[in-house]
Amino acid sequence: MGNSLGKNLIITSFGESHGTHVGIVLDGFPSNFAIDFTQIQHELDRRKPGQSNLSSERKEDDIPIFVSGIFEGKTTGAPICILIENKNQNSQDYSELKNLYRPSHADKVYDQKYINRDYRGGGRSSARITAPWVAAGALAKQFLLKYYQINIQSVVNRVKHIGIEDVFMLSDWSNAQTNTIKCPDSMLALKMIELIDSAKIAGDTVGGTIATRISNCPIGIGEPVFDKLNADLSKAMFSINATKGIEFGDGFGGTYKYGSERNDAPDKNTNNEGGIIAGISNGNNIEFTTAFKPVSSIKITQRMENQSNEIINHQIQGRHDPCVLPRAIPIVESLSAIVILDHIFSNLKKHTKMTKI
């Protein structure tokens, strides 16, 4: 269970790292929408491994196969199933993991919960299952941009201890497209890359934070009690295995201020609330920061438990990212787009007469 997300725009995820395909079903997407297939491929390319020295060496084309819901290039209103082939599988890489539980990994809890674990490449817990999320998110992004002029952008604002002081004070994040770590400050980007490179050489990994800004979100999106917009964005972000924290606006930092300092006055140019008040968008940019732990898969000998409950020393093989942050960006953006579009559909003016799209 727990493989679907959303109420009026629903994604259902399936697939494992070393099955034939990973996939998604997107239900609730409006009909008669002309799809920009190039943009979908572009988003998938941003996520796929092997793009730069910073990411895993697994090579995947990640070309989406559209199984259903599209006719003559346009959506039909039927559920859209998208498959992505797992080409560069290398099951031998993982045979060592059959009896071993990697530290801070899902291996052991999966065995305990399910018994019959597909251990190849992390199986269902692999980040590979997020590729179809990006394809579905790309569709949501297209729709949001076309009909609402909503733009969603995520950047890396900190790698380990190297970070931008207040990334939300920076209004222009376009520089993030010019470097492989996707940081809007080009000088810091170089330092981040240097740090990742040296971690990689040491067989180690680093984490950091991703900042997200959603502009032009209409006022009034989000439900006031249990389906708050921030609550649903938060739930979506924690769907990414490496996420360990999230904060909106000034978040944890804001708890160091007095109320009188922190309140967003109408003529003060602040956005401490991060664009969401009491669960509802207030017209400001929606801004949040997500904490990603350093990848648990390191190429350094570690203490590990095996299925016989022995603790041994072992060094994991396989192809892993020294830092997932740049590849996580399209995932964060995609889930954000899906949550925002779902909430927009849930908030449509309720006495509107139904008309064709």
Q: Which residues in the 150-189 window bind a copy of itself by CB under 8 A?
A: 158, 160-161
Within 11-30, the residues that bind a copy of itself by CB under 8 A are 12-16, 19-23, 25, 27-28, 30
Site for a copy of itself contains 308 (CB under 8 A):
no
In terms of Cβ atoms closer than 10 Å to its own Cβ (0-12, 13-18, 19+), residue 102 is: buried
Q: What DSSP string runs through 16-65?
A: -TTSSEEEEEEESPPSSPBP-HHHHHHHHHHHSTTSSTTS--------EE
Minimum distance from residue 341 beta carbon to a copy of itself (Å):
9
Minimum distance from residue 145 beta carbon to a copy of itself (Å):
12
Contact status, residue 86 vs residue 20, Cβ threshold 8 Å:
yes
Cβ nearer to a copy of itself, comparing 178 with 244: 244
Which residues lie closer than 8 Å to 160 by C-beta, 6 or more apart? 195, 206, 207, 208, 294
Site for a copy of itself contains 208 (CB under 8 A):
yes
Candidates 52, 178, 263, 307: give the one binding a copy of itself (CB under 8 A).
263
Site for a copy of itself contains 41 (CB under 8 A):
no
Q: How far apart are CA 44 and CA 50, in angstroms?
A: 12
Site for a copy of itself contains 74 (CB under 8 A):
yes
Cβ nearer to a copy of itself, comparing 29 with 173: 29
Q: How far apart are CA 285 and CA 271, in angstroms?
A: 8
Within 112-151, the residues that bind a copy of itself by CB under 8 A are 112-118, 123-125, 129, 143, 147-148
Residue 5: other Cβ atoms inside 10 A? 19
Site for a copy of itself contains 256 (CB under 8 A):
yes
Within 224-253, the residues that bind a copy of itself by CB under 8 A are 224-228, 230-232, 234-236, 238-239, 241, 244-252
Site for a copy of itself contains 191 (CB under 8 A):
no
Which residues lie closer than 8 Å to 344 by C-beta, 6 or more apart? 144, 148, 218, 221
